[in-house]
């Protein structure tokens, strides 16, 4: 059930043009809240805010934030003459219209991705390592991040995306489906992919959900299963799908040891098309175990398995002082996790340079 409270704004900090970080007083308790200002309007100190406290009441892993619903002191209204007629967050109290790229394209011809390298990833933190893996090999490559609607819907929630744009490790963002707030908006995954090629002029595309992935202790109940669907979409549109493996040495859960079942299931049960599956350079014993996991599901027969160096991407992140954490762990805590993502970016860069033909 939706849980709301009325709060008083104590401090308002603009994170970017679309998002404010608020300090609020809720019944005498100081808390933090996000305000997506395209939906709520701007907040100032002293304003009264209606906030959604559902996640903090349930103690969910949202970073301890509430979310502003509206500014009770100064209600906002979208102008009737603003462009865009595609509604996102449809049939919810926060539905709003956006201008999608499809509304500005009159051609019904189905464009091809023309062998565009597209990396499909399952965890939001992986996009930093993938991007670094590309840029370490191909610094001038233009990278687009296409965010799906499998996890967080507002891209403004991601501090990681803000940092990667600032550091020029990604060059443009697109949000598709019910996700919103990208520099470009798209109706679905397929049209979003076409946008990255022909509107964003990307050399490499990273497709991944936003923060807040869902996982359960079941075979199919996790949001990252969309990796297999992304592979299918890229293939059907004439792109070159690359699967970023989720790997770990530090995760104590057996189902996530070395190559996670999240990646193995997406590759074996969901992907109907072949993808390049980069395995990072690592100790021989780990490589042998990774190959055993892949061979057990006959993935060498279904996909192209390659070996790529993920270390240059990690070196680039270190030079840029970008410390990316996943599940609370940094690079030194779980090297294999970071190397696997960086290796996927390296594979995409080698496709661009012609070093890898496939």
The DSSP code for 200 is S
Q: Quick one: pLDDT band at residue 77, thresholds 50, 70, 90?
A: low
Domains defined for the chain, CATH in brackets: 4-71 (2.40.50.220), 117-353 (3.40.50)
What's the whole-number mean pLDDT along residues 235-261?
92
pLDDT value of residue 249: 86
Q: How far apart are CA 312 and CA 350, in angstroms?
A: 13
User: pTM of the prediction?
Assistant: 0.94
Closest CA to 347 of 272, 262, 277: 277
Non-local (6+) Cβ contacts of 136 within 8 A are 312, 313, 315, 316, 342, 345, 346, 349
Largest alpha-carbon pair distance within the chain?
63
Query: What is the per-residue pLDDT across 90-142, written as a single tens digit (0 to 9) for each?
Result: 999 899 999 999 998 766 678 899 999 999 999 999 999 999 999 999 999 99
In the predicted structure, residue 62 carries a pLDDT above the cut 60: no
């Amino acid at each position: 059930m939706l849980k709301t409270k009325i709060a008083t704004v104590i401090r308002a900090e603009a994170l970017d043009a679309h998002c404010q970080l608020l300090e609020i007083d809720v019944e005498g308790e100081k808390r933090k809240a996000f305000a997506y200002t395209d939906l709520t309007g701007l907040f100032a100190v002293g304003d009264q805010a209606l906030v959604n406290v559902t996640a903090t009441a349930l103690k969910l892993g949202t970073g301890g934030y509430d979310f502003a619903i509206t500014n009770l002191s100064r209600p906002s209204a979208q102008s009737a003459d603003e462009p865009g007629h595609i509604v996102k967050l449809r049939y919810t109290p926060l539905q709003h219209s956006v201008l999608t790229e499809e509304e500005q394209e009159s051609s019904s011809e189905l464009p091809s991705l023309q062998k565009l390298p597209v990396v499909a990833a399952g965890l939001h933190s992986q996009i930093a390592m993938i991007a670094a893996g590309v840029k370490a090999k191909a610094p001038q490559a233009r990278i687009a991040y296409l965010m799906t609607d499998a996890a967080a819907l507002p891209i403004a929630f991601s501090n990681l995306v803000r940092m990667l744009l600032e550091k020029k490790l990604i060059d443009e963002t697109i949000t598709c489906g019910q996700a919103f707030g990208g520099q470009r908006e798209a109706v679905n995954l397929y049209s979003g992919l076409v946008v990255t090629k022909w509107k964003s002029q990307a050399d490499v595309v990273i497709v991944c959900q936003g923060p807040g992935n869902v996982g359960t202790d079941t075979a199919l109940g996790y949001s990252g299963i969309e990796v297999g669907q992304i592979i299918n979409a890229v293939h059907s549109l004439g792109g070159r799908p690359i699967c970023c493996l989720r790997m770990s040495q530090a995760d104590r859960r057996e189902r996530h040891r070395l190559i996670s079942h999240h990646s193995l299931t997406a590759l074996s049960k969901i992907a109907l098309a072949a993808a390049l599956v980069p395995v990072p350079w690592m100790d021989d014993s780990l490589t042998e175990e990774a190959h055993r996991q892949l061979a057990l599901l006959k993935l060498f027969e279904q996909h192209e398995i390659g070996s790529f160096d993920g270390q240059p991407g990690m070196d680039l992140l270190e030079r840029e002082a970008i410390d990316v954490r996943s599940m609370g762990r940094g690079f030194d805590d779980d090297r294999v996790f970071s190397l696997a993502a960086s290796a996927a970016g390296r594979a995409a860069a080698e496709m661009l340079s012609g070093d890898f033909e496939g």
